[in-house]
Structure 1
Amino acid sequence: MDTAFSSFFESTQSGSRWNSFKNFNQISPVVQSHLKQVYLSLCCALVASASGVYLHLLWNIGGILTTIAMIGCMAWMLSTPLQKERKRVALLMAAALFEGASIGPLIDLAIQIDPSILITAFVGTGLAFACFSAAAMVARRREYLYLGGLLSSGLSMLLWLHFASSIFGGSTALFKFELYFGLLVFVGYIVVDTQDIIEKAHFGDLDYVKHALTLFTDFVAVFVRILIIMLKNSNEKNEKKKKRRN
Protein backbone atom coordinates (compact mmCIF):
# COMPACT_ATOMS: atom_id res chain seq x y z
CA MET A 1 0.00 0.00 0.00
CA ASP A 2 2.96 2.30 0.61
CA THR A 3 3.92 1.68 -3.01
CA ALA A 4 0.52 2.94 -4.12
CA PHE A 5 0.88 6.09 -2.02
CA SER A 6 4.42 6.78 -3.26
CA SER A 7 3.38 6.23 -6.87
CA PHE A 8 0.61 8.78 -6.51
CA PHE A 9 2.75 11.44 -4.84
CA GLU A 10 5.68 10.90 -7.20
CA SER A 11 3.32 11.48 -10.10
CA THR A 12 2.38 14.92 -8.75
CA GLN A 13 6.04 15.91 -8.44
CA SER A 14 7.23 14.68 -11.83
CA GLY A 15 6.38 16.75 -14.89
CA SER A 16 6.04 13.80 -17.26
CA ARG A 17 3.92 11.78 -14.83
CA TRP A 18 1.77 14.86 -14.15
CA ASN A 19 1.06 15.19 -17.87
CA SER A 20 0.15 11.53 -17.90
CA PHE A 21 -2.21 12.08 -14.99
CA LYS A 22 -3.78 15.16 -16.55
CA ASN A 23 -4.09 13.92 -20.10
CA PHE A 24 -4.43 10.17 -19.46
CA ASN A 25 -1.93 9.52 -22.25
CA GLN A 26 -1.53 5.93 -21.12
CA ILE A 27 -5.26 5.30 -21.47
CA SER A 28 -6.88 5.14 -24.90
CA PRO A 29 -9.98 7.26 -25.69
CA VAL A 30 -12.15 4.14 -25.71
CA VAL A 31 -11.00 3.18 -22.21
CA GLN A 32 -11.42 6.78 -21.02
CA SER A 33 -15.03 6.74 -22.21
CA HIS A 34 -15.54 3.40 -20.50
CA LEU A 35 -14.17 4.74 -17.22
CA LYS A 36 -16.55 7.69 -17.41
CA GLN A 37 -19.46 5.26 -17.71
CA VAL A 38 -18.12 3.17 -14.84
CA TYR A 39 -17.75 6.09 -12.43
CA LEU A 40 -21.06 7.64 -13.48
CA SER A 41 -22.75 4.31 -12.75
CA LEU A 42 -20.87 4.12 -9.45
CA CYS A 43 -22.17 7.57 -8.44
CA CYS A 44 -25.72 6.54 -9.34
CA ALA A 45 -25.31 3.36 -7.31
CA LEU A 46 -24.17 5.38 -4.30
CA VAL A 47 -27.25 7.60 -4.62
CA ALA A 48 -29.43 4.48 -4.80
CA SER A 49 -27.66 3.12 -1.73
CA ALA A 50 -28.33 6.37 0.14
CA SER A 51 -32.00 5.98 -0.81
CA GLY A 52 -31.92 2.49 0.71
CA VAL A 53 -30.53 3.92 3.93
CA TYR A 54 -33.30 6.53 3.97
CA LEU A 55 -35.96 3.85 3.45
CA HIS A 56 -34.53 1.92 6.40
CA LEU A 57 -34.65 5.02 8.59
CA LEU A 58 -38.30 5.49 7.61
CA TRP A 59 -39.59 1.93 7.81
CA ASN A 60 -36.81 -0.13 9.46
CA ILE A 61 -36.54 -2.55 6.52
CA GLY A 62 -32.82 -3.35 6.73
CA GLY A 63 -31.81 -6.85 7.77
CA ILE A 64 -31.28 -10.38 6.52
CA LEU A 65 -34.00 -10.14 3.87
CA THR A 66 -32.50 -7.04 2.25
CA THR A 67 -29.07 -8.70 2.29
CA ILE A 68 -30.47 -11.76 0.52
CA ALA A 69 -32.28 -9.49 -1.95
CA MET A 70 -29.03 -7.63 -2.63
CA ILE A 71 -27.14 -10.86 -3.34
CA GLY A 72 -30.00 -12.05 -5.54
CA CYS A 73 -29.98 -8.82 -7.58
CA MET A 74 -26.21 -9.05 -8.03
CA ALA A 75 -26.40 -12.66 -9.19
CA TRP A 76 -29.31 -11.83 -11.51
CA MET A 77 -27.41 -8.89 -12.98
CA LEU A 78 -24.25 -10.92 -13.59
CA SER A 79 -26.26 -13.67 -15.31
CA THR A 80 -28.18 -11.23 -17.54
CA PRO A 81 -26.84 -10.90 -21.12
CA LEU A 82 -24.92 -7.73 -21.96
CA GLN A 83 -27.47 -6.84 -24.63
CA LYS A 84 -30.09 -6.13 -21.94
CA GLU A 85 -28.29 -3.03 -20.74
CA ARG A 86 -31.24 -1.25 -19.13
CA LYS A 87 -32.22 -4.33 -17.15
CA ARG A 88 -28.66 -4.77 -15.89
CA VAL A 89 -28.43 -1.10 -14.85
CA ALA A 90 -31.79 -1.41 -13.06
CA LEU A 91 -30.57 -4.52 -11.23
CA LEU A 92 -27.38 -2.69 -10.23
CA MET A 93 -29.43 0.14 -8.76
CA ALA A 94 -31.71 -2.35 -6.98
CA ALA A 95 -28.69 -4.16 -5.52
CA ALA A 96 -27.26 -0.81 -4.34
CA LEU A 97 -30.60 0.15 -2.78
CA PHE A 98 -30.82 -3.14 -0.87
CA GLU A 99 -27.19 -2.75 0.18
CA GLY A 100 -28.00 0.66 1.60
CA ALA A 101 -30.96 -0.76 3.49
CA SER A 102 -28.75 -3.58 4.82
CA ILE A 103 -26.22 -1.17 6.33
CA GLY A 104 -29.07 1.09 7.48
CA PRO A 105 -28.95 -0.13 11.11
CA LEU A 106 -25.27 0.84 11.32
CA ILE A 107 -26.03 4.25 9.80
CA ASP A 108 -28.92 4.71 12.25
CA LEU A 109 -26.59 3.93 15.16
CA ALA A 110 -24.05 6.47 13.91
CA ILE A 111 -26.75 9.15 13.61
CA GLN A 112 -27.89 8.48 17.17
CA ILE A 113 -24.35 8.66 18.58
CA ASP A 114 -22.93 11.52 16.52
CA PRO A 115 -24.04 12.48 12.97
CA SER A 116 -20.68 14.15 12.31
CA ILE A 117 -19.02 10.71 12.46
CA LEU A 118 -21.15 9.57 9.52
CA ILE A 119 -20.17 12.60 7.42
CA THR A 120 -16.49 12.25 8.32
CA ALA A 121 -16.49 8.53 7.46
CA PHE A 122 -18.13 9.15 4.08
CA VAL A 123 -15.79 12.02 3.18
CA GLY A 124 -12.78 9.99 4.32
CA THR A 125 -13.89 7.03 2.23
CA GLY A 126 -14.43 9.26 -0.79
CA LEU A 127 -10.97 10.80 -0.47
CA ALA A 128 -9.28 7.43 -0.01
CA PHE A 129 -11.18 6.00 -2.96
CA ALA A 130 -10.23 8.95 -5.18
CA CYS A 131 -6.56 8.87 -4.17
CA PHE A 132 -6.07 5.14 -4.64
CA SER A 133 -8.04 5.10 -7.90
CA ALA A 134 -5.85 7.95 -9.18
CA ALA A 135 -2.73 6.05 -8.09
CA ALA A 136 -3.87 3.03 -10.10
CA MET A 137 -4.58 5.17 -13.18
CA VAL A 138 -1.27 7.04 -13.04
CA ALA A 139 0.83 3.92 -12.46
CA ARG A 140 2.16 1.78 -15.27
CA ARG A 141 -0.24 -0.76 -16.71
CA ARG A 142 -0.49 -3.98 -14.69
CA GLU A 143 1.90 -2.55 -12.05
CA TYR A 144 -0.33 -3.48 -9.10
CA LEU A 145 -2.18 -6.47 -10.50
CA TYR A 146 0.29 -8.79 -8.77
CA LEU A 147 -1.22 -7.65 -5.45
CA GLY A 148 -4.44 -9.48 -6.35
CA GLY A 149 -3.11 -12.80 -5.10
CA LEU A 150 -1.97 -11.32 -1.79
CA LEU A 151 -5.30 -9.56 -1.30
CA SER A 152 -7.22 -12.76 -2.07
CA SER A 153 -5.17 -14.54 0.59
CA GLY A 154 -5.89 -11.72 3.03
CA LEU A 155 -9.61 -11.88 2.27
CA SER A 156 -9.58 -15.63 2.78
CA MET A 157 -7.85 -15.13 6.13
CA LEU A 158 -10.53 -12.64 7.17
CA LEU A 159 -13.30 -15.07 6.26
CA TRP A 160 -11.71 -17.89 8.28
CA LEU A 161 -11.14 -15.58 11.27
CA HIS A 162 -14.76 -14.44 11.14
CA PHE A 163 -15.93 -18.04 10.87
CA ALA A 164 -13.77 -19.12 13.82
CA SER A 165 -14.84 -16.18 16.00
CA SER A 166 -18.53 -16.88 15.29
CA ILE A 167 -18.08 -20.47 16.52
CA PHE A 168 -15.55 -20.15 19.33
CA GLY A 169 -16.11 -16.52 20.26
CA GLY A 170 -13.79 -13.64 19.52
CA SER A 171 -11.77 -11.26 21.65
CA THR A 172 -11.64 -7.49 21.35
CA ALA A 173 -8.12 -7.70 19.96
CA LEU A 174 -9.26 -10.11 17.25
CA PHE A 175 -12.16 -7.82 16.36
CA LYS A 176 -9.79 -4.86 16.02
CA PHE A 177 -7.45 -6.91 13.85
CA GLU A 178 -10.32 -7.92 11.57
CA LEU A 179 -11.40 -4.27 11.25
CA TYR A 180 -8.02 -2.75 10.46
CA PHE A 181 -6.71 -5.64 8.38
CA GLY A 182 -10.00 -5.75 6.47
CA LEU A 183 -9.74 -2.01 5.81
CA LEU A 184 -6.20 -2.51 4.46
CA VAL A 185 -7.34 -5.37 2.23
CA PHE A 186 -10.27 -3.52 0.68
CA VAL A 187 -8.24 -0.33 0.16
CA GLY A 188 -5.81 -2.53 -1.73
CA TYR A 189 -8.69 -3.91 -3.78
CA ILE A 190 -9.53 -0.34 -4.90
CA VAL A 191 -6.10 -0.12 -6.54
CA VAL A 192 -6.11 -3.63 -7.99
CA ASP A 193 -9.70 -3.52 -9.24
CA THR A 194 -9.16 -0.13 -10.89
CA GLN A 195 -6.13 -1.40 -12.79
CA ASP A 196 -7.94 -4.64 -13.59
CA ILE A 197 -10.89 -2.70 -15.05
CA ILE A 198 -8.53 -0.58 -17.17
CA GLU A 199 -6.65 -3.66 -18.36
CA LYS A 200 -9.85 -5.53 -19.26
CA ALA A 201 -11.14 -2.48 -21.12
CA HIS A 202 -7.92 -2.38 -23.17
CA PHE A 203 -8.69 -5.95 -24.26
CA GLY A 204 -12.31 -5.18 -25.17
CA ASP A 205 -14.22 -5.94 -21.96
CA LEU A 206 -16.43 -2.85 -21.74
CA ASP A 207 -19.02 -4.16 -19.29
CA TYR A 208 -19.30 -0.94 -17.31
CA VAL A 209 -22.20 -2.22 -15.19
CA LYS A 210 -20.18 -5.14 -13.79
CA HIS A 211 -17.14 -2.92 -13.29
CA ALA A 212 -19.23 -0.32 -11.44
CA LEU A 213 -20.56 -3.10 -9.20
CA THR A 214 -16.99 -4.14 -8.38
CA LEU A 215 -15.98 -0.61 -7.36
CA PHE A 216 -19.25 -0.12 -5.48
CA THR A 217 -18.60 -3.18 -3.29
CA ASP A 218 -15.06 -1.88 -2.61
CA PHE A 219 -16.40 1.54 -1.64
CA VAL A 220 -19.05 0.15 0.71
CA ALA A 221 -16.60 -2.28 2.33
CA VAL A 222 -14.14 0.54 3.07
CA PHE A 223 -16.89 2.91 4.26
CA VAL A 224 -18.40 0.37 6.68
CA ARG A 225 -15.04 -0.38 8.25
CA ILE A 226 -14.06 3.26 8.61
CA LEU A 227 -17.45 4.01 10.17
CA ILE A 228 -17.18 1.12 12.66
CA ILE A 229 -13.64 2.16 13.62
CA MET A 230 -14.76 5.75 14.21
CA LEU A 231 -17.80 4.65 16.22
CA LYS A 232 -15.64 2.36 18.34
CA ASN A 233 -13.10 5.12 18.99
CA SER A 234 -15.91 7.55 19.89
CA ASN A 235 -17.40 5.03 22.30
CA GLU A 236 -14.03 4.46 23.98
CA LYS A 237 -13.54 8.21 24.40
CA ASN A 238 -16.98 8.57 25.96
CA GLU A 239 -16.25 5.73 28.40
CA LYS A 240 -12.97 7.34 29.43
CA LYS A 241 -14.77 10.65 30.06
CA LYS A 242 -17.35 8.89 32.24
CA LYS A 243 -14.64 7.19 34.27
CA ARG A 244 -12.87 10.50 34.84
CA ARG A 245 -16.09 12.12 36.02
CA ASN A 246 -16.74 9.26 38.44
Structure 2
Amino acid sequence: MARAKMLLVEDDAALAELLVWHFQREDFEIRHTADGEEALLIAQENTPDLVLLDWMIEGLSGIEVCRRLRRMPETQNVPIIMLTARGEEEDRVRGLETGADDYVTKPFSPRELVARVGAVLRRVRPALAGEQLTYADLEMDTVGHKVRRGGQLVALGPTEFRLLKHFLEHPGWVFSRERLLDSVWGHDADIEPRTVDVHIRRLRQAINAGGRPDIIRTVRSAGYALDADGKL
Protein backbone atom coordinates (compact mmCIF):
# COMPACT_ATOMS: atom_id res chain seq x y z
CA MET A 1 0.00 0.00 0.00
CA ALA A 2 1.31 3.46 -0.91
CA ARG A 3 2.16 5.83 1.92
CA ALA A 4 -0.21 8.76 2.15
CA LYS A 5 1.48 12.13 1.59
CA MET A 6 0.39 14.85 4.01
CA LEU A 7 1.15 18.56 3.93
CA LEU A 8 0.97 20.06 7.44
CA VAL A 9 0.67 23.86 7.58
CA GLU A 10 1.01 24.85 11.25
CA ASP A 11 3.05 27.64 12.90
CA ASP A 12 2.81 26.33 16.47
CA ALA A 13 6.14 24.48 16.62
CA ALA A 14 5.22 22.27 19.59
CA LEU A 15 1.88 21.21 18.07
CA ALA A 16 3.49 20.62 14.68
CA GLU A 17 6.13 18.36 16.25
CA LEU A 18 3.44 16.41 18.07
CA LEU A 19 1.36 15.94 14.90
CA VAL A 20 4.39 14.94 12.82
CA TRP A 21 5.21 12.28 15.42
CA HIS A 22 1.66 10.88 15.48
CA PHE A 23 1.22 10.75 11.72
CA GLN A 24 4.68 9.35 11.01
CA ARG A 25 3.81 6.58 13.47
CA GLU A 26 0.77 5.90 11.24
CA ASP A 27 3.17 5.66 8.26
CA PHE A 28 2.29 9.00 6.67
CA GLU A 29 4.90 10.83 4.60
CA ILE A 30 4.79 14.40 5.99
CA ARG A 31 5.97 17.78 4.72
CA HIS A 32 5.64 20.57 7.27
CA THR A 33 5.76 24.33 6.87
CA ALA A 34 4.64 27.26 9.01
CA ASP A 35 4.29 29.54 5.98
CA GLY A 36 1.23 29.77 3.72
CA GLU A 37 3.14 30.88 0.60
CA GLU A 38 5.62 28.02 1.01
CA ALA A 39 2.72 25.60 1.51
CA LEU A 40 1.32 26.56 -1.90
CA LEU A 41 4.72 26.00 -3.54
CA ILE A 42 5.17 22.61 -1.85
CA ALA A 43 1.66 21.53 -2.88
CA GLN A 44 2.29 22.59 -6.47
CA GLU A 45 5.63 20.79 -6.74
CA ASN A 46 4.57 17.55 -5.03
CA THR A 47 0.79 17.15 -4.75
CA PRO A 48 -0.15 15.85 -1.29
CA ASP A 49 -2.94 13.36 -0.65
CA LEU A 50 -4.26 15.51 2.21
CA VAL A 51 -3.61 18.96 3.71
CA LEU A 52 -3.83 19.73 7.45
CA LEU A 53 -4.13 23.51 7.52
CA ASP A 54 -4.11 25.87 10.51
CA TRP A 55 -6.49 28.82 10.13
CA MET A 56 -4.36 31.29 12.12
CA ILE A 57 -0.91 31.02 10.51
CA GLU A 58 1.04 34.26 10.14
CA GLY A 59 1.26 36.02 6.80
CA LEU A 60 -1.06 34.42 4.25
CA SER A 61 -4.06 33.20 6.26
CA GLY A 62 -5.15 29.57 6.33
CA ILE A 63 -8.48 30.50 4.77
CA GLU A 64 -6.65 32.16 1.85
CA VAL A 65 -4.32 29.17 1.47
CA CYS A 66 -7.42 26.95 1.31
CA ARG A 67 -8.99 29.19 -1.33
CA ARG A 68 -5.85 29.14 -3.50
CA LEU A 69 -5.39 25.38 -3.14
CA ARG A 70 -8.92 24.95 -4.49
CA ARG A 71 -8.05 27.14 -7.50
CA MET A 72 -4.83 25.28 -8.40
CA PRO A 73 -5.37 22.39 -10.87
CA GLU A 74 -2.89 20.21 -8.95
CA THR A 75 -4.75 20.51 -5.65
CA GLN A 76 -8.36 21.33 -6.49
CA ASN A 77 -9.48 17.84 -5.42
CA VAL A 78 -7.07 17.30 -2.52
CA PRO A 79 -8.90 16.96 0.84
CA ILE A 80 -8.25 19.80 3.31
CA ILE A 81 -8.83 19.61 7.06
CA MET A 82 -8.65 22.95 8.85
CA LEU A 83 -7.25 23.24 12.38
CA THR A 84 -8.35 26.25 14.39
CA ALA A 85 -9.13 27.69 17.79
CA ARG A 86 -12.15 29.41 16.24
CA GLY A 87 -15.16 27.28 17.15
CA GLU A 88 -18.03 29.59 16.23
CA GLU A 89 -20.53 28.19 13.76
CA GLU A 90 -20.08 31.14 11.41
CA ASP A 91 -16.34 30.47 11.19
CA ARG A 92 -16.87 26.76 10.59
CA VAL A 93 -19.31 27.51 7.79
CA ARG A 94 -16.86 30.00 6.26
CA GLY A 95 -14.08 27.41 6.32
CA LEU A 96 -16.26 24.76 4.69
CA GLU A 97 -17.57 27.18 2.08
CA THR A 98 -13.99 28.09 1.18
CA GLY A 99 -13.35 24.46 0.30
CA ALA A 100 -12.31 22.65 3.48
CA ASP A 101 -13.53 19.05 3.78
CA ASP A 102 -13.48 18.92 7.57
CA TYR A 103 -12.89 21.21 10.52
CA VAL A 104 -11.19 20.38 13.84
CA THR A 105 -11.31 22.85 16.73
CA LYS A 106 -8.36 23.21 19.13
CA PRO A 107 -7.68 21.77 21.60
CA PHE A 108 -8.14 18.31 20.12
CA SER A 109 -6.91 14.80 20.74
CA PRO A 110 -4.19 13.75 18.25
CA ARG A 111 -5.77 10.28 18.18
CA GLU A 112 -9.12 11.81 17.21
CA LEU A 113 -7.42 13.82 14.47
CA VAL A 114 -5.74 10.66 13.12
CA ALA A 115 -9.17 9.03 13.00
CA ARG A 116 -10.71 12.04 11.24
CA VAL A 117 -7.91 12.05 8.65
CA GLY A 118 -8.45 8.33 8.09
CA ALA A 119 -12.18 8.89 7.56
CA VAL A 120 -11.56 11.61 4.97
CA LEU A 121 -9.00 9.47 3.13
CA ARG A 122 -11.35 6.50 3.07
CA ARG A 123 -13.92 8.69 1.41
CA VAL A 124 -11.69 10.24 -1.24
CA ARG A 125 -8.61 7.99 -1.53
CA PRO A 126 -9.64 4.44 -0.67
CA ALA A 127 -6.39 2.81 -1.72
CA LEU A 128 -4.45 5.02 0.69
CA ALA A 129 -6.79 4.05 3.47
CA GLY A 130 -5.93 0.39 3.18
CA GLU A 131 -8.58 -0.79 0.76
CA GLN A 132 -6.14 -2.42 -1.65
CA LEU A 133 -7.24 -6.06 -1.58
CA THR A 134 -4.79 -8.96 -1.77
CA TYR A 135 -4.95 -12.73 -1.43
CA ALA A 136 -2.22 -15.21 -2.39
CA ASP A 137 -0.77 -13.77 -5.64
CA LEU A 138 -3.91 -11.76 -6.45
CA GLU A 139 -3.96 -7.97 -6.03
CA MET A 140 -6.93 -5.66 -6.61
CA ASP A 141 -6.69 -1.87 -6.85
CA THR A 142 -10.27 -0.84 -6.08
CA VAL A 143 -9.57 2.79 -7.06
CA GLY A 144 -7.76 2.18 -10.36
CA HIS A 145 -10.10 -0.76 -11.08
CA LYS A 146 -7.15 -3.03 -11.85
CA VAL A 147 -6.41 -6.65 -10.98
CA ARG A 148 -3.03 -8.36 -11.09
CA ARG A 149 -2.09 -11.98 -10.56
CA GLY A 150 1.56 -12.71 -10.08
CA GLY A 151 2.23 -9.12 -11.11
CA GLN A 152 0.46 -9.54 -14.47
CA LEU A 153 -2.60 -7.45 -15.32
CA VAL A 154 -5.85 -9.42 -15.57
CA ALA A 155 -8.66 -8.09 -17.77
CA LEU A 156 -12.06 -8.46 -16.09
CA GLY A 157 -15.55 -7.35 -16.99
CA PRO A 158 -17.51 -5.27 -14.44
CA THR A 159 -19.49 -8.22 -13.04
CA GLU A 160 -16.41 -10.43 -12.73
CA PHE A 161 -14.61 -7.54 -11.00
CA ARG A 162 -17.42 -7.23 -8.44
CA LEU A 163 -17.46 -11.00 -7.92
CA LEU A 164 -13.73 -11.13 -7.31
CA LYS A 165 -13.90 -8.11 -4.98
CA HIS A 166 -16.52 -9.92 -2.91
CA PHE A 167 -14.36 -13.05 -2.71
CA LEU A 168 -11.25 -11.01 -1.81
CA GLU A 169 -13.16 -9.34 1.02
CA HIS A 170 -14.09 -12.78 2.40
CA PRO A 171 -11.29 -15.24 1.56
CA GLY A 172 -12.09 -18.82 2.49
CA TRP A 173 -15.80 -18.17 2.93
CA VAL A 174 -18.19 -20.44 1.00
CA PHE A 175 -21.01 -18.57 -0.76
CA SER A 176 -24.07 -20.15 -2.31
CA ARG A 177 -25.30 -18.87 -5.68
CA GLU A 178 -28.17 -17.15 -3.89
CA ARG A 179 -25.80 -15.36 -1.47
CA LEU A 180 -23.63 -14.22 -4.35
CA LEU A 181 -26.65 -12.96 -6.28
CA ASP A 182 -27.73 -10.99 -3.23
CA SER A 183 -24.27 -9.56 -2.48
CA VAL A 184 -22.97 -8.89 -6.00
CA TRP A 185 -26.10 -8.26 -8.06
CA GLY A 186 -28.36 -6.89 -5.32
CA HIS A 187 -31.72 -7.75 -3.80
CA ASP A 188 -33.77 -6.66 -6.80
CA ALA A 189 -31.79 -8.40 -9.52
CA ASP A 190 -34.06 -10.56 -11.68
CA ILE A 191 -31.35 -13.09 -12.51
CA GLU A 192 -31.33 -16.87 -12.45
CA PRO A 193 -28.94 -18.48 -9.92
CA ARG A 194 -27.31 -20.39 -12.79
CA THR A 195 -26.12 -17.03 -14.15
CA VAL A 196 -23.64 -17.03 -11.29
CA ASP A 197 -22.03 -20.14 -12.77
CA VAL A 198 -21.46 -18.34 -16.08
CA HIS A 199 -19.69 -15.43 -14.42
CA ILE A 200 -17.66 -17.72 -12.16
CA ARG A 201 -16.49 -19.53 -15.28
CA ARG A 202 -15.48 -16.24 -16.93
CA LEU A 203 -13.69 -15.14 -13.76
CA ARG A 204 -11.79 -18.42 -13.60
CA GLN A 205 -10.73 -18.18 -17.25
CA ALA A 206 -9.37 -14.67 -16.67
CA ILE A 207 -7.47 -15.16 -13.41
CA ASN A 208 -6.24 -18.70 -14.23
CA ALA A 209 -4.90 -17.80 -17.69
CA GLY A 210 -1.42 -19.07 -18.47
CA GLY A 211 -1.86 -22.28 -16.52
CA ARG A 212 -2.03 -20.68 -13.07
CA PRO A 213 -3.62 -22.77 -10.31
CA ASP A 214 -7.37 -22.40 -9.92
CA ILE A 215 -7.99 -20.68 -6.59
CA ILE A 216 -11.76 -20.53 -6.88
CA ARG A 217 -13.13 -23.74 -5.41
CA THR A 218 -16.47 -25.30 -6.19
CA VAL A 219 -17.80 -26.72 -2.94
CA ARG A 220 -20.33 -29.44 -3.74
CA SER A 221 -23.89 -28.62 -2.64
CA ALA A 222 -22.63 -25.40 -1.04
CA GLY A 223 -21.29 -22.92 -3.58
CA TYR A 224 -17.97 -21.21 -4.29
CA ALA A 225 -15.02 -19.91 -2.30
CA LEU A 226 -11.68 -18.20 -2.81
CA ASP A 227 -9.31 -20.90 -1.55
CA ALA A 228 -5.63 -20.97 -2.52
CA ASP A 229 -4.83 -23.96 -0.31
CA GLY A 230 -7.44 -26.33 -1.72
CA LYS A 231 -8.58 -27.33 1.76
CA LEU A 232 -12.29 -26.78 1.23
Q: TM-score normalised to the size of structure 2?
A: 0.25
Q: Which has the larger radius of gyration?
A: 2
- Whose RCO is larger (CA < 8 A, sep 6+)? 1
Which of the two has greater helix per residue? 1
Which of the two has greater strand per residue? 2
